[in-house]
Amino acid sequence: MKEGPHGAGEPVSIDRHPPELLPMQDGTAFLLQRIDCAVRRTTQLTRKRLEYEAVGGHIVVRGIVGTYFQKQMAQEVIRRVDGVQRVENLLEVNWSAADSPVASS
């Protein structure tokens, strides 16, 4: 587990816009990078702005999507990434965000 500036167990997060290259030697950062890549490759989610936090293999995903299908799709894509043990899906569904590329909280 990555130690944040305030100690062990501190959540580490990544906002996928703009994309950043993360250090490969950092296990949590590498896990978040793999999650971000998997979500970006999912056609239904490529234009959505999602945020991820990780503590060990527990992933929290936040943001706004346009449909319940997108919410479920994000959860399943993240769940299938090697190293993810649990997904807490805090995505909000906002029908007006269905076609918005930058929907965020």
Q: What is the domain partition of the chain in residue ranges? A: 7-97
Per residue in 51-105, pLDDT tens?
999 988 999 999 999 999 999 999 999 999 999 999 999 999 998 866 555 444 4
Distance in angstroms (rounded) separating the CA atoms of residues 18 and 28: 19
Region of residue 7 (left: phi > 0; alpha: psi -120 to 50; beta: else): left
Model-wide pTM > 0.75: no
Distance of CA 14 to the CA centre of its chain: 7
Half-sphere exposure of 96 (CA within 13 A, CB side): 1
